[in-house]
Amino acid sequence: MRVLLRLVLLGSIVTTAGPVRALAQPAPSPAVDPAKAKVAKQYVDAGLAAQNSGDYDTAIVFYSKAYQLVPHPVLLFNMAQAHRLAGRIEKALALYAKYLEEDPNGPQAQTARDIVADEARKADEARKADEARKAEAARKADEAQRAQEREASRAVEQKRAAEATEAQERAEQAPGRNLRLSGMTVGAVGVVSLGLGVGFGLHARSLSGELSKPGATYDPAKVDAGNRANTVAITGLVGGTVLVAAGATLYWLGSSQGKHQEGVALAPMVSDRLAGFVVAGTLP
């Protein structure tokens, strides 16, 4: 390429009387001013030197100046090469296209076509790679979202399980607590009954003492009152004793409900000789 361009420009300088022909067109172009051709050659030499040293921007400047003086298609190819090497692919492709338009059968036409095709292939590969990266990122984001949803679901299940366990423990503890409360209530009623029995017993004893004093007259009202007080005293003492015993039993059963008790039943029992409660239960 460098030799060709130099030959073209040198040929323009040597044959100053003859026209410079565009390679894509058989018709002759206007005559080139020898002074412009000489300066253009100097620009081209400076551009080639800058390009070889890696200073592509400076090379493009010199090629552009040369092209302004002598608009030969090869200079378009040179500028395209410099832009491509500098990483400006879009500008390079535009210049390759312009070069092929002006000189489709030129000495660098096939090279330009190969470069354009190669860049198109690279662009397609880059596009596919970018799509693959986006798809992979979307897949990972979806997996992360699913993992968060699973973690949230597990947390909800664990919370529900804990609440169910707590509710079950409260339910298991409730019968024992109820039995203890029942035992204390029954025991309290029994203590009151005992107190009433003792009180009426003392009253019956007092009435009996009054009737048994020497010289005391028979008083049917006091006799009836003493009998009633004695009956109430016996009932209170017996019933209170039974109730206190039943309350103590219920409290004990309630305390041991969680460890040993499986089923407890409390039922009243009344007969002509006995009144009280029956406590029935099953133990493992």
Query: pLDDT per residue over 166-192, tens digit each?
Result: 887 776 666 667 767 777 888 888 888
Give 245's contacts (C-beta < 8 A, 6+ positions apart). Answer: 190
Q: Which of 73, 25, 82 is nearest to 55 (CA)?
A: 82
| Beta strand ranges found along the chain (DSSP E) | 263-270, 275-282
pLDDT band at residue 120 under the 50/70/90 scheme = very high
Query: pLDDT per residue over 214-267, tens digit each?
Result: 766 777 776 788 788 788 888 878 887 988 888 888 777 777 765 554 455 556
pLDDT band at residue 57 under the 50/70/90 scheme = very high
- Residue 70 phi, psi dihedral angles, 5° rounding: -130, 95
How far, in Å, CA of 204 to CA of 197, rounded?
Answer: 10
- By residue count, the chain amounts to 284
- Mean of pLDDT values over 110-135: 94
First CA to last CA across the chain, in angstroms?
106
Give 26's contacts (C-beta < 8 A, 6+ positions apart). Answer: none
In this predicted structure, the answer to whether residue 10 has a pLDDT above a threshold of 80 is: no
Predicted local distance difference test score (pLDDT) of residue 181: 75
Give 51's contacts (C-beta < 8 A, 6+ positions apart). Answer: 59, 78, 81, 82, 85
Q: Which of 202, 208, 209 is nearest to 223 (CA)?
A: 208
Please give the share of the chain, as a percent, with pLDDT higher than 70: 74
How far, in Å, CA of 248 to CA of 255, rounded?
Answer: 11
Predicted local distance difference test score (pLDDT) of residue 264: 53
- Mean of pLDDT values over 127-136: 94
Can you state the percent helix, strand and coil of the chain, rounding each to 5?
A: 75, 5, 20
How far, in Å, CA of 66 to CA of 73, rounded?
Answer: 11
In this predicted structure, the answer to whether residue 161 has a pLDDT above a threshold of 70 is: yes
Q: Please classify residue 42 by burial: count the beta carbons closer than 10 Å to its beta carbon, then call 0-12 exposed, 13-18 middle and 19+ buried.
A: middle
- Which of 208 and 40 is assigned the larger pLDDT? 40
How far, in Å, CA of 48 to CA of 86, rounded?
Answer: 14
In this predicted structure, the answer to whether residue 33 has a pLDDT above a threshold of 70 is: yes
Residue 263's DSSP bridge partners are 282
- Residue 262 phi, psi dihedral angles, 5° rounding: -110, -35
pTM, 2 dp: 0.45
Look over the chain and give the mean of its residue pLDDT values, rounded to a whole number: 79
